[in-house]
Amino acid sequence: MKALAEGGFQVGALSKLYYDGGVDLEELHGEPAVSKTQELLKQDQVTIYEAAIQFEDFLVRVDILKKNGERIDLIEVKAKSHDFEKDSFFSKIKREESSPKRGSVLSSAWEPYLVDVAFQTFVTRKAYPKFQINPYLCLVDKRVTYPHSGLHQCFLIKKENDRPKVVVRPDIDQKLLSPKILSAVSVAKEVEFLIKEEVFSTPEPEDLSAYSYFLASLLKADTPGPVYASETCKGCEFRIPNSLEKKGLKSGFKQCWSEAGFLTDENKDLPTVLDLWDNRRAKKHLEEDVVFLKDLTQDALGENKEALSGLSRVERQWLQVLKTKTNDKEPYFDFDYLERFLGEVTFPLHFIDFETTRVAIPFHKNQTPYEQIAYQFSHHLMHENGRIEHKTQFIHTTPGQFPNFEFARALMNALNKDGGTIFRYSHHENTTLNDIARQLGEFRPDGFPEIIEFIESITKSGKDGEEGSRKGNRSMIDLCEVVKKSFYHPSMKGSNSIKVVTPTILSDSKFLQQKYSKNIYGIGGEISSLNFLPKAWVVFDSLGIAQDPYKTLPPVEIDDGYRLTDIEMINEGGGASVAWARMQFTEMSEAERKAIADGLLRYCELDTLSMVWLFEYLRNAFQTNGAKR
């Protein structure tokens, strides 16, 4: 969210350069901002940034307001990309005639943005009824191939009063502003749909005006609104773990579901159908008043399409349900699958992980917005005799340089010394390498054929067996798929993320605990590292539970011990992207730059070490218990 927000700040700053000459009211708030806007709108022609418009209990801030005579254009700027030739704001799916919201429906991906600008249009029309109000969305244009380098570095993120702020370089070269990577598109039709149709959910369907007054009445009365509990609550930002509730925090999710009648004091801590892995039937389950995992039947999961090997999707779901019903805390292994899997690997084993980012404003010339940028990888090696080493790593920190081709060559040099099996976790590394191969074909069509050949040898495209699909002769093996097919632990609940799997296996495995509770891992240690001093990775808390290693990563500090205020920890992918991007467009000392780079290297190394732990865990489980099956 932080990365998206900062990208949005930069896009907003760029949009002001495209609508040059405006009056910026960003620093004004409340009545001064409203009064200043009213004063400016007395001019026949004016452009205002962050215009403040109030009508009764409604207040809006407009990103860019452009007045020309009797016409006012409201331009809402978003960092979302849009194909202006293909994308539509309306969904292809129509609501059923029996639905209270029958007929046309807006695309779910675009509805929040359109509601935003529709509300601005509604309030502005009420406040200034004599003017013609025209709504626009200003979006990132996916069609544009940007021919320059350096635009992204013109927007620096700084902190003022503990809040991020974009500072535009005063000496920006005007040629960098053409062609425009942002374009405004009229959303008049969509806004009229929202204003006139009854598409908002209150106790009865309402149009925008009625819904706005309804929300204002709730605010004035300080009264909670009605609860609409549904399968969409899976992504609720107010769901918190039970462990945090025990520390005194409150779960907004449980409050809503209790009001909706789904939860009671007796059952509020039980896992629900929203916790079921890959549950595509949650809506149906709730409609049938099946709220908890323990109440699900096998038939309720749908048809079981058996996998060619290992667990099928439904079998894995039923495994989770069964362990919930019986309160079984033991792990499950499909040893037949593991036997085949372990028998097919070729030593030495390579474990790789990438850190990448996509930004709206291209870092480099001849690229489109949100182009793939690969700036870091980590690489662990496991030999047949069991020896493990953190073999190689790559990080690119120089601002303004495109790292992908140097990244790919370094990876090729690291992996092409033998024919050992290469492991990734999930699809990200495969997608990234295919993107780099495409970029090589587009940006350097006559260069680096050996890199393209290497990429094609370790990746695949399309689904196996489909026309046009490709699979390299040394295609990477996805350890996440191995987990899905062969392993489940109740502590993982509905997640297969490496950030969930890692603390689970360290807490479960006596083998890993005995090995990694010693200071054997680190620079100069029995297991070599490129970034860590010798340390024990398995550390138990007061309850005897192994600590999550990602939470034990050291903070980002500079040499004098000062901890950076806004990038204190790098222990997940989003934080890594923010940290690296900061090095691209933030003025910082060399000490800060080195501290962030060191934090990135440690985090990425832990990702590949976690993959090593997972392989060791699965192999040890098979060797210890496989014969007993």
Q: What is the pLDDT of residue 43?
A: 97
* Interval 279-304: pLDDT, tens: 999 999 999 999 999 999 999 999 98
Is the sign of the CA dihedral 195, 196, 199, 200 positive or negative?
A: positive
Q: Look at residue 94 in the predicted model and tell me its pLDDT.
A: 54
From residue 443, alpha-carbon distances to 147, 191, 478 in Å are 11, 40, 29
Q: How confident is the model at residue 235 (pLDDT cuts 50, 70, 90)?
A: confident
Work out the average pLDDT over 545-555. Answer: 89
pLDDT > 70? residue 193: yes
Q: Does 475 or 306 have the greater pLDDT score? A: 475
pLDDT tier at 5, thresholds 50, 70, 90: low
Q: Where are the domains of the chain?
A: 2-144+180-221, 329-629
Q: What is the pLDDT of residue 101?
A: 46
- Mean pLDDT of the residues in the chain: 90
Name the 3-class secondary structure at 388.
strand
Could you report the per-residue pLDDT of 125-156, keeping only the tens digit for each? Answer: 999 999 999 999 999 998 899 999 888 888 87
**Residue 97 — pLDDT band, cuts 50, 70, 90?**
very low
* pTM, to two decimals: 0.91
Q: By the 8 A CB rule, do 511 and 617 touch?
A: yes
Label residues 119-142 b or e (16+ Cβ within 10 Å = b). bbbbbbbbbbeeeebbbbbbbbbb
Angle (nearest 5°) at CA 271 between 269 and 277:
155
Instruction: Tell whether the model's pLDDT for residue 232 goes beyond 80.
Output: yes
Model confidence at 98: pLDDT above 50: no
> Is the pLDDT score of 116 beyond 70?
yes
462 or 342, greater pLDDT: 342
Position with higher pLDDT, 228 vs 525 = 525
How far apart are the two ends of the chain, measured CA to CA in Å? 46
Question: Is pLDDT above 60 for 103?
Answer: no
Rg, the chain, Cα only = 27
Cα gap 473→454, rounded to integer Å: 10
User: d(Cα 184, Cα 136) in Å, to the nearest integer?
Assistant: 6
What is the structure's pLDDT at 465?
66
Q: Residue 359: pLDDT band by 50, 70, 90 thresholds? A: confident
Q: Tell me the C-alpha distance between 345 and 341, whole Å.
A: 7
